[in-house]
Each structure stands twice: as C-alpha cells, then as structure tokens.
Amino acid sequence: MEEKKVKQIKWLMAGIIILLFIAGSAIVILNNKNITSLPTMDPETGIQRWISAVNTRDYHHLYTLAPDTIRQQVDEATFMQAQEGNPLLSSGNKITSYQVLNRTFVGNNATITAQLMLAIPGEGSGNLSKKFPLYIKFLETFEHGGWKVWTTEPG
C-alpha cells in the first residue's frame, strides 16, 4: 500500500514539473524579442508604418518603405520633390484610422485596398476638423525582412 502512494506522489510531482516547464517555456517565448517581431509577417504592418510616416511628414521613411523596384526607378531627391503639393501631406492633415476592405496574397506580394479617414483641420473660429474617406490600394512586397509599401489609385 505504501509503495502505491509513493508511485502516485511521483506521478503527481512529474505532472507538476511538466506543467511548470510548459508555463516557463511559454513565458520565455512570449518575452523573446525575436518572437515579438513576428507581426511584421502581416502586411498591415506595412500600412501602419506608411500611415505613421505620412502623419509625421517623414518623407525619407516613406521613400525607404518603397519596394526596391520603385527605388530603382526613382531616386530619393526626385521622390521628395514629388511630395511637394501632395494634399495628403499638407500641414495639419492626419490619417486618423483605416479599414481594410480587400486583401489578396500571391507569394511575397500583397494587394490591400483600404479606406483611410483623413482629418483636415478646420478654418475659422470653430476650428473643427473635417473628415474625408480616402480609398487607397496598397501594393506590398515582403523584402529585406519587412513589408515594402507603394500606393496606387483604387481599382
């Protein structure tokens, strides 16, 4: 009878050790910086980085977000000049939200059509901003460890 209790205690202890091992492994995995970078596999991270660069008027970052094929066709200086007068990048304008309407994946490429909400500051005493929906098609390519983004007219 005593031997049976010892055997049960051993199995119970083994179970507890296994559970502690699994819990500890889960904590290490969730805190590992390499694992937390996995969301870059989602092309929406490219859109989020693009929106952030637009909102901060970071033209250099917008250029670096372009895929290699675009950067081979247009140098950064030409890209920067082309942004002058771009109403999306006008002072005070800000993209406040977006909603993915459609997405298509083919290999390392994604096409995402999204509705962006553009807030334009109001004029006059009320200073209420006006919001306008924009429909943009994002062409994305996964290269150099992240999603590279280019935009076109929706279609």
45-96 pLDDT, tens digit each:
999 999 999 999 998 999 999 999 999 999 999 988 888 877 777 778 899 9
Average pLDDT over residues 6-16: 73
Distance CA 130, CA 146 (A): 33
What number of residues does the chain have?
Answer: 155
* pTM, to two decimals: 0.69
| H helices present in the chain, as ranges | 2-31, 33-36, 44-55, 59-65, 68-73, 76-83
Q: Which residues contact 62 (CB under 8 A, 6 or more apart)?
A: 50, 53, 54, 79, 83
Binning pLDDT at 50, 70 and 90, where does residue 35 land?
very low
The token pair that represents 32 in the structure block:
């590992």
The token pair that represents 131 in the structure block:
């919001």
